[in-house]
Amino acid sequence: MRRKIVAGNWKMNMDLSEGLKFAESLNAYFKSKPVKAGVILCTPFIHLAAVSEIIKNGTLLLGAQNCSSEPSGAFTGEISAQMIKSTGAGYVIIGHSERRTYYHEDDALLNKKTQLAISSGLNVIFCCGEVLNERESGKHREVVKKQLEDGLFTLSAENFRKVVIAYEPVWAIGTGLTATPEQAQEMHKYIRDLVKVKFGTVVAEDLTILYGGSCKPSNAAEIFSKQDVDGGLIGGASLKREDFCAIVEAI
């Protein structure tokens, strides 16, 4: 069964005490108001262990925003998938456009991270999406296809089932510009069709595909109403309690 998911990507925001307070308030809210979707908080690394404790008796799920491409060893400053798993987190975002752009993470590296995350017992939220000039020149499908083929399609079907895909047109991230519900649906269907060819109908139909990019309470319900949109990856609006709760409820 395809699962609906709303994931909040906190990015590099909130210090430890702010983050814990925020997690406590979301935990209390969703405990009193259960929703059908999986709600995942993707926090900075430093919050993971403590947020894991906070949400232990609630309904929220926990994820990291990145992991190392190496399993362990002399990689100063890195955090391994296994370490993330040991905090109680169940998810990790891989291939966010900010990591692709600012840290030059390419598809081969993202593939390595994905394999390692899954073998460490994590589920992966794998991001893909085109930049504005690729959309304007009609190359968006080609770009996303290559990101998926090189990043994900080397996985076994069994491992691919641990993946959630987030389609995030880069021109819509943090810009206030949103893909129209039709543009989102068109790309999500395209992605599902690619997965169908690669892994078969059952895997494709079970796959959760999230939309990300300036998702807010005013546009979430319409985007989520599309057949192949199974939820959202929320950046800016995930930092505001009312907005994030309203987006979750829109599903």
Q: Which residues of the shown chain bind ligand PGA in the complex (CB under 6 A)?
A: 9, 168, 173-174, 212-215, 233-237
Q: Which residues pair with 211 in a beta bridge?
A: 167, 232
Q: Which of 96, 105, 130, 188 is catalytic?
A: 96
Q: How far is the CB of 63 from ligand PGA (least distance, A)?
A: 12
Report the distance separating Cα 226 and Cα 23, nearest Å.
29
Q: Is 168 a catalytic residue?
A: yes
- Of 147 and 199, the one with the shorter C-beta distance to ligand PGA is 147
Q: Reply yes or no on whether 188 is catalytic.
A: no
Quote the DSSP letter at residue 195: H
Q: Measured at CB, which residue is nearest to ligand PGA?
A: 235
Least distance to ligand PGA from the beta carbon of 212, Å?
4
Residue type, 223: I
- Annotated catalytic residue, options 98, 105, 130, 168: 168
For 43-75, the DSSP string reads --GGGHHHHHHHTTTSS-EEEES---SSSSSS-
* Angle ∠(73,76,81) on CA atoms, nearest 5: 60
* Smallest gap from residue 1 Cβ to ligand PGA (A): 25
Q: Which is nearer to ligand PGA, 148 or 204 (CB)?
A: 148
DSSP run (H or E) holding 247: helix 241-250
* Shortest spacing between CB 215 and ligand PGA, in angstroms: 5
Nearer to ligand PGA, 92 or 173 (CB): 173
Tell me the one-letter amino acid at 91.
Y
Q: Which is nearer to ligand PGA, 53 or 242 (CB)?
A: 242
Residue positions annotated with a catalytic role: 96, 168
